[in-house]
Structure 1
Protein backbone atom coordinates (compact mmCIF):
# COMPACT_ATOMS: atom_id res chain seq x y z
CA UNK A 1 0.00 0.00 0.00
CA UNK A 2 2.99 2.30 0.47
CA UNK A 3 4.97 4.22 -2.14
CA UNK A 4 5.87 2.14 -5.23
CA UNK A 5 9.56 3.08 -4.95
CA UNK A 6 9.75 1.38 -1.53
CA UNK A 7 8.20 -1.80 -2.93
CA UNK A 8 10.59 -1.72 -5.89
CA UNK A 9 13.60 -1.31 -3.59
CA UNK A 10 12.40 -4.17 -1.35
CA UNK A 11 13.55 -6.81 -3.80
CA UNK A 12 17.10 -5.45 -3.49
CA UNK A 13 17.11 -5.65 0.31
CA UNK A 14 17.42 -8.68 2.52
CA UNK A 15 14.18 -10.14 3.78
CA UNK A 16 13.29 -10.52 7.41
CA UNK A 17 14.85 -13.37 9.35
CA UNK A 18 12.51 -16.39 9.26
CA UNK A 19 11.39 -17.90 12.58
CA UNK A 20 10.03 -21.29 11.53
CA UNK A 21 10.53 -22.96 14.90
CA UNK A 22 11.50 -22.54 18.53
CA UNK A 23 15.05 -23.50 17.52
CA UNK A 24 15.21 -20.68 14.95
CA UNK A 25 13.95 -18.14 17.45
CA UNK A 26 16.25 -19.20 20.28
CA UNK A 27 19.31 -19.13 18.00
CA UNK A 28 18.36 -15.62 16.87
CA UNK A 29 17.48 -14.16 20.28
CA UNK A 30 20.75 -15.41 21.80
CA UNK A 31 22.64 -13.20 19.31
CA UNK A 32 20.51 -10.07 19.70
CA UNK A 33 21.94 -7.24 21.78
CA UNK A 34 19.69 -6.74 24.86
CA UNK A 35 19.33 -3.02 24.04
CA UNK A 36 18.08 -3.92 20.57
CA UNK A 37 15.67 -6.51 21.99
CA UNK A 38 14.03 -3.80 24.11
CA UNK A 39 12.87 -2.00 20.93
CA UNK A 40 9.98 -3.15 18.75
CA UNK A 41 10.80 -5.19 15.65
CA UNK A 42 9.14 -5.07 12.26
CA UNK A 43 7.44 -8.36 11.49
CA UNK A 44 5.45 -9.99 8.74
CA UNK A 45 3.80 -13.36 8.52
CA UNK A 46 4.46 -14.54 4.99
CA UNK A 47 1.99 -16.54 2.89
CA UNK A 48 3.51 -19.78 4.22
CA UNK A 49 2.67 -18.68 7.78
CA UNK A 50 6.32 -18.01 8.68
CA UNK A 51 7.12 -15.17 11.07
CA UNK A 52 9.85 -12.90 9.67
CA UNK A 53 11.63 -10.31 11.82
CA UNK A 54 13.62 -7.23 10.84
CA UNK A 55 14.90 -4.16 12.70
CA UNK A 56 12.17 -1.68 13.63
CA UNK A 57 12.98 0.89 10.99
CA UNK A 58 12.78 -1.67 8.19
CA UNK A 59 9.92 -1.41 5.76
CA UNK A 60 7.42 -4.24 6.04
CA UNK A 61 7.55 -4.83 2.30
CA UNK A 62 11.34 -5.29 2.57
CA UNK A 63 10.89 -7.69 5.50
CA UNK A 64 8.55 -9.71 3.24
CA UNK A 65 10.92 -9.57 0.27
CA UNK A 66 8.32 -7.62 -1.68
CA UNK A 67 5.75 -10.40 -1.52
CA UNK A 68 2.23 -10.69 -0.15
CA UNK A 69 1.67 -11.38 3.56
CA UNK A 70 -0.97 -12.73 5.90
CA UNK A 71 -0.12 -10.14 8.57
CA UNK A 72 2.32 -7.33 9.38
CA UNK A 73 3.10 -4.98 12.25
CA UNK A 74 5.45 -4.43 15.16
CA UNK A 75 6.39 -6.82 17.96
CA UNK A 76 8.27 -6.26 21.22
CA UNK A 77 9.95 -9.01 23.22
CA UNK A 78 11.23 -9.44 26.75
CA UNK A 79 14.11 -11.82 27.42
CA UNK A 80 13.30 -14.82 29.60
CA UNK A 81 15.26 -17.87 30.65
CA UNK A 82 15.54 -20.05 27.56
CA UNK A 83 14.41 -17.39 25.12
CA UNK A 84 11.94 -14.54 25.09
CA UNK A 85 8.24 -13.72 25.22
CA UNK A 86 6.09 -11.26 23.29
CA UNK A 87 4.96 -8.32 25.42
CA UNK A 88 3.46 -6.16 22.68
CA UNK A 89 2.26 -6.94 19.17
CA UNK A 90 0.34 -4.73 16.73
CA UNK A 91 -0.90 -4.73 13.16
CA UNK A 92 0.68 -1.30 12.60
CA UNK A 93 1.92 -1.39 9.01
CA UNK A 94 1.13 1.37 6.54
CA UNK A 95 2.83 -0.74 3.87
CA UNK A 96 0.28 -3.57 4.09
CA UNK A 97 -2.52 -2.01 6.19
CA UNK A 98 -3.66 -5.35 7.62
CA UNK A 99 -7.03 -5.66 9.31
CA UNK A 100 -7.14 -6.68 12.99
CA UNK A 101 -8.72 -9.93 11.75
CA UNK A 102 -5.22 -11.08 10.73
CA UNK A 103 -4.54 -11.99 14.41
CA UNK A 104 -4.96 -15.78 13.96
CA UNK A 105 -2.08 -15.83 11.44
CA UNK A 106 0.10 -13.90 13.89
CA UNK A 107 -0.85 -16.15 16.81
CA UNK A 108 -0.05 -19.31 14.84
CA UNK A 109 3.34 -17.95 13.71
CA UNK A 110 4.28 -16.88 17.26
CA UNK A 111 3.18 -20.27 18.61
CA UNK A 112 5.29 -22.04 15.97
CA UNK A 113 8.28 -19.98 17.13
CA UNK A 114 7.60 -21.17 20.70
CA UNK A 115 6.81 -17.74 22.09
CA UNK A 116 4.57 -16.85 25.00
CA UNK A 117 2.24 -14.18 23.67
CA UNK A 118 -0.81 -12.10 24.51
CA UNK A 119 -4.25 -13.36 23.46
CA UNK A 120 -4.62 -10.69 20.79
CA UNK A 121 -3.08 -7.51 19.47
CA UNK A 122 -2.00 -5.19 22.28
CA UNK A 123 -2.89 -2.29 19.95
CA UNK A 124 -5.11 -2.64 16.87
CA UNK A 125 -5.15 -0.37 13.85
CA UNK A 126 -7.89 0.03 11.25
CA UNK A 127 -6.81 1.45 7.90
CA UNK A 128 -9.01 2.88 5.14
CA UNK A 129 -8.39 4.73 1.90
CA UNK A 130 -10.60 7.73 1.30
CA UNK A 131 -12.62 7.20 -1.91
CA UNK A 132 -12.76 10.95 -2.48
CA UNK A 133 -9.16 12.13 -1.96
CA UNK A 134 -7.29 8.76 -1.93
CA UNK A 135 -5.54 9.51 1.39
CA UNK A 136 -4.63 6.63 3.67
CA UNK A 137 -6.34 6.99 7.04
CA UNK A 138 -5.96 5.34 10.41
CA UNK A 139 -9.48 5.11 11.82
CA UNK A 140 -9.54 6.35 15.39
CA UNK A 141 -12.27 5.73 17.95
CA UNK A 142 -14.40 4.03 15.25
CA UNK A 143 -14.94 7.37 13.49
CA UNK A 144 -14.83 6.53 9.77
CA UNK A 145 -14.16 10.06 8.47
CA UNK A 146 -11.21 11.11 6.33
CA UNK A 147 -8.75 13.24 8.27
CA UNK A 148 -7.85 15.16 5.09
CA UNK A 149 -11.14 15.95 3.33
CA UNK A 150 -13.80 15.04 5.90
CA UNK A 151 -15.60 12.59 3.61
CA UNK A 152 -16.97 9.33 5.00
CA UNK A 153 -14.69 6.30 4.90
CA UNK A 154 -16.00 2.86 4.03
CA UNK A 155 -16.73 0.42 6.84
CA UNK A 156 -15.01 -2.40 4.92
CA UNK A 157 -11.31 -2.65 4.07
CA UNK A 158 -10.66 -1.00 0.70
CA UNK A 159 -6.90 -0.95 0.22
CA UNK A 160 -6.31 -3.30 -2.69
CA UNK A 161 -6.46 -7.06 -2.97
CA UNK A 162 -6.62 -8.80 0.39
CA UNK A 163 -3.57 -10.86 1.28
Structure 2
Protein backbone atom coordinates (compact mmCIF):
# COMPACT_ATOMS: atom_id res chain seq x y z
CA UNK A 1 0.00 0.00 0.00
CA UNK A 2 1.22 3.50 -0.84
CA UNK A 3 2.31 5.95 1.81
CA UNK A 4 0.16 9.12 2.01
CA UNK A 5 3.16 11.11 0.79
CA UNK A 6 2.98 9.19 -2.50
CA UNK A 7 -0.67 10.11 -3.10
CA UNK A 8 -1.39 13.31 -5.06
CA UNK A 9 -4.76 13.83 -3.37
CA UNK A 10 -3.20 13.78 0.10
CA UNK A 11 -0.39 16.13 -0.95
CA UNK A 12 -2.85 18.52 -2.64
CA UNK A 13 -5.00 18.59 0.52
CA UNK A 14 -1.94 19.24 2.74
CA UNK A 15 -0.71 22.03 0.46
CA UNK A 16 -4.21 23.57 0.52
CA UNK A 17 -4.21 23.45 4.33
CA UNK A 18 -0.82 25.17 4.41
CA UNK A 19 -1.84 27.71 1.76
CA UNK A 20 -4.98 28.73 3.68
CA UNK A 21 -3.12 28.94 7.00
CA UNK A 22 -0.35 31.08 5.50
CA UNK A 23 -2.84 33.34 3.70
CA UNK A 24 -4.93 33.89 6.84
CA UNK A 25 -1.83 34.55 8.96
CA UNK A 26 -0.31 37.08 6.56
CA UNK A 27 -3.59 38.86 5.83
CA UNK A 28 -4.57 38.82 9.52
CA UNK A 29 -1.19 40.22 10.57
CA UNK A 30 -1.75 43.05 8.07
CA UNK A 31 -5.05 43.81 9.84
CA UNK A 32 -7.52 42.30 7.37
CA UNK A 33 -10.30 39.76 7.87
CA UNK A 34 -10.57 38.16 4.43
CA UNK A 35 -10.43 34.50 3.42
CA UNK A 36 -8.66 33.32 0.27
CA UNK A 37 -11.96 32.81 -1.57
CA UNK A 38 -13.26 36.23 -0.45
CA UNK A 39 -10.05 37.77 -1.78
CA UNK A 40 -10.38 35.89 -5.10
CA UNK A 41 -14.02 36.99 -5.42
CA UNK A 42 -13.23 40.62 -4.59
CA UNK A 43 -10.32 40.79 -7.06
CA UNK A 44 -12.46 39.14 -9.77
CA UNK A 45 -15.36 41.54 -9.17
CA UNK A 46 -12.98 44.49 -9.42
CA UNK A 47 -11.57 43.17 -12.71
CA UNK A 48 -15.05 42.49 -14.14
CA UNK A 49 -17.53 45.29 -13.36
CA UNK A 50 -21.23 44.32 -13.28
CA UNK A 51 -20.42 40.64 -12.91
CA UNK A 52 -23.26 38.37 -11.76
CA UNK A 53 -22.83 35.71 -9.06
CA UNK A 54 -23.15 32.72 -11.40
CA UNK A 55 -20.39 34.06 -13.66
CA UNK A 56 -18.26 34.91 -10.61
CA UNK A 57 -18.61 31.33 -9.36
CA UNK A 58 -17.39 30.00 -12.70
CA UNK A 59 -14.46 32.41 -12.90
CA UNK A 60 -13.09 31.42 -9.49
CA UNK A 61 -14.15 27.74 -9.70
CA UNK A 62 -16.54 27.88 -6.77
CA UNK A 63 -19.91 26.18 -6.57
CA UNK A 64 -22.93 28.38 -7.22
CA UNK A 65 -24.64 27.79 -3.88
CA UNK A 66 -21.58 28.54 -1.73
CA UNK A 67 -20.69 31.69 -3.69
CA UNK A 68 -23.85 33.33 -2.31
CA UNK A 69 -22.43 33.17 1.22
CA UNK A 70 -19.08 34.51 0.04
CA UNK A 71 -20.75 37.49 -1.65
CA UNK A 72 -23.04 38.01 1.37
CA UNK A 73 -19.96 38.39 3.60
CA UNK A 74 -18.30 40.81 1.16
CA UNK A 75 -21.51 42.89 1.13
CA UNK A 76 -21.70 42.81 4.96
CA UNK A 77 -18.09 44.04 5.12
CA UNK A 78 -18.97 46.93 2.78
CA UNK A 79 -16.58 45.74 0.07
CA UNK A 80 -19.15 44.82 -2.59
CA UNK A 81 -22.66 45.97 -3.54
CA UNK A 82 -25.41 44.09 -5.36
CA UNK A 83 -27.28 46.16 -7.93
CA UNK A 84 -29.90 45.48 -10.56
CA UNK A 85 -28.14 44.17 -13.64
CA UNK A 86 -28.31 46.48 -16.66
CA UNK A 87 -28.26 43.37 -18.91
CA UNK A 88 -30.78 41.10 -17.16
CA UNK A 89 -33.54 42.36 -14.85
CA UNK A 90 -33.62 39.02 -13.01
CA UNK A 91 -29.90 39.07 -12.23
CA UNK A 92 -27.97 41.11 -9.69
CA UNK A 93 -24.75 42.76 -10.79
CA UNK A 94 -21.84 42.86 -8.36
CA UNK A 95 -19.90 46.09 -7.98
CA UNK A 96 -16.82 46.72 -5.86
CA UNK A 97 -17.14 49.65 -3.45
CA UNK A 98 -14.53 52.32 -2.77
CA UNK A 99 -13.78 50.48 0.49
CA UNK A 100 -13.32 47.27 -1.52
CA UNK A 101 -10.83 49.02 -3.81
CA UNK A 102 -8.91 50.41 -0.82
CA UNK A 103 -8.86 46.97 0.79
CA UNK A 104 -7.48 45.32 -2.35
CA UNK A 105 -4.79 47.99 -2.66
CA UNK A 106 -3.75 47.69 1.00
CA UNK A 107 -3.94 43.88 1.21
CA UNK A 108 -1.81 43.20 -1.89
CA UNK A 109 1.58 43.16 -0.08
CA UNK A 110 0.25 40.61 2.45
CA UNK A 111 -1.17 38.40 -0.33
CA UNK A 112 2.11 38.56 -2.25
CA UNK A 113 4.01 37.69 0.93
CA UNK A 114 1.73 34.69 1.51
CA UNK A 115 2.39 33.42 -2.03
CA UNK A 116 6.15 33.67 -1.47
CA UNK A 117 5.95 31.87 1.88
CA UNK A 118 3.97 29.01 0.31
CA UNK A 119 6.86 28.38 -2.08
CA UNK A 120 9.74 29.21 0.28
CA UNK A 121 11.12 25.65 0.29
CA UNK A 122 11.66 25.82 -3.46
CA UNK A 123 14.11 27.63 -5.67
CA UNK A 124 12.63 30.18 -8.08
CA UNK A 125 12.96 27.65 -10.90
CA UNK A 126 11.29 24.90 -8.82
CA UNK A 127 8.49 27.28 -7.88
CA UNK A 128 7.86 28.05 -11.56
CA UNK A 129 7.90 24.33 -12.36
CA UNK A 130 5.47 23.54 -9.53
CA UNK A 131 3.10 26.24 -10.79
CA UNK A 132 3.37 24.91 -14.37
CA UNK A 133 2.65 21.34 -13.24
CA UNK A 134 -0.24 22.42 -11.00
CA UNK A 135 -1.82 24.35 -13.90
CA UNK A 136 -1.36 21.32 -16.18
CA UNK A 137 -2.89 18.85 -13.69
CA UNK A 138 -5.76 21.22 -12.89
CA UNK A 139 -6.54 21.80 -16.58
CA UNK A 140 -6.60 18.05 -17.19
CA UNK A 141 -8.98 17.45 -14.28
CA UNK A 142 -11.05 20.65 -14.43
CA UNK A 143 -14.24 19.01 -15.70
CA UNK A 144 -14.08 16.39 -12.94
CA UNK A 145 -14.58 19.07 -10.29
CA UNK A 146 -17.97 19.86 -8.76
CA UNK A 147 -17.08 23.51 -9.45
CA UNK A 148 -15.06 23.60 -12.68
CA UNK A 149 -13.27 26.76 -13.69
CA UNK A 150 -15.24 28.39 -16.49
CA UNK A 151 -13.72 30.66 -19.08
CA UNK A 152 -16.35 33.32 -19.71
CA UNK A 153 -16.54 35.84 -22.51
CA UNK A 154 -17.55 38.91 -20.51
CA UNK A 155 -17.73 41.12 -23.58
CA UNK A 156 -20.67 39.24 -25.08
Q: Normalised by the shorter chain, which TM-score bucket? A: under 0.3
Q: Comparing both structures, which one devotes a greater share of its residues to helix?
A: 2
The TM-score normalised by the length of structure 1 is: 0.24
The TM-score normalised by the length of structure 2 is: 0.25
Q: Comparing both structures, which one devotes a greater share of its residues to strand?
A: 1
Q: Using CA pairs below 8 Å that are at least 6 residues apart, which structure has the higher relative contact order?
A: 2
